[in-house]
Structure 1
């Protein structure tokens, strides 16, 4: 069932439509996006890169804020993210375990917030719960999330080849 952009908040899980389908639909209809996700696995990058190529043709850009918490993210994940021209990646310091996805649309925003990292198991199979909220731009909750993301962006550093080289040398 297709919901209108400003439908009531709803629970998104992998029980019926998986979380990746929800995120993919938002990506394909957004004007930009910012995600904060602690963990990213290499097996989610091929479908993500396909979507990003489609978005590049539409001049849609996005950002991902992630980190090195528990050394979970493999250097090859960062190397693949660097290859996506319409994506900016920021690296946080310290313990970072957030999972929030914010999508800007023409005159509204959608947020998906919950337990799902950007991993194949989290987005397709695990028992994960996320809440999907859509609201007019500058509504209280999406404004708070946008502010939190802006704070994370300001407190993080850009993913660069030099940063990746240093991380790869020390990663275990």
Structure 2
């Protein structure tokens, strides 16, 4: 696979797919990818908080949302809601052992933030998708880190961060998944 650097992120961009890699599965050439792990120099917390501050809208979907995770992400969320009129949607698991009722109540007190609790008798929400939009395009993280202190800072976690243009194959796929989750929960798109 040939790799070429780009100017969007300090990451790599695929310019040619490996032999026998289905074209429909190939990364769109308008997308940059970077791996995010929790290290002393960079963590899920630093990346997510930075994206919150720079975005016009964000969609945070996680299985586990804890009070200590909320302590990390809520200050930049409130700051950006106030200064940038950030549009925020949060989806978390509805089971009390994953997202405590006190956390749900706390989020409910932030009028500008839309929090949906995923409840499905047949499925458990296990998605970790953090999606952000700005004037130049979208950025999303898809991986293992929950919105807990451990997930954001301490655990060995891995997420793939994509940055790309609206309308790219990846953007359409991610936005479609996000919209399907919201529709399942009765949110009008």
Q: Among 7, 23, 30, which residue is 2:48 paired with?
A: 23
Structure with larger RCO (C-alpha < 8 A, sep 6+): 1
Distance 1:90 1:157 in 2: 9
Report what 1:47 is aligned to.
Answer: 72
Q: Among 130, 137, 144, which residue is 1:115 paired with?
A: 144
CA contact (8 A) 2:129 2:140 kept: yes
Deviation at 1:53, TM superposition (A): 1.9
Q: TM-score, normalised by structure 2?
A: 0.77
Residues 94-133 of structure 1 aligned to structure 2 (within 5 Å): 94=120, 95-133=124-162
Report what 1:167 is aligned to.
Answer: none
How many pairs align?
A: 156
Deviation at 1:37, TM superposition (A): 0.7
Deviations 1:117-140 (A, max 9, x none): 101001001000000010011211
Name the CA shift for 1:116/1:61 in 2 (closer, same or farther; >3 Å).
Answer: same
Q: SS in structure 1 opposite 2:151?
A: helix
CA contact (8 A) 1:49 1:84 kept: no
Of 106-115 and 42-51, more deviation after overlay is shown by 42-51
Deviation at 1:39, TM superposition (A): 0.7
Structure 1: unaligned runs, 5 residues or longer: 159-172
Distance 2:89 2:119 in 1: 17
Q: SS in structure 1 opposite 2:155?
A: coil
- Higher percent of residues as helix: 1
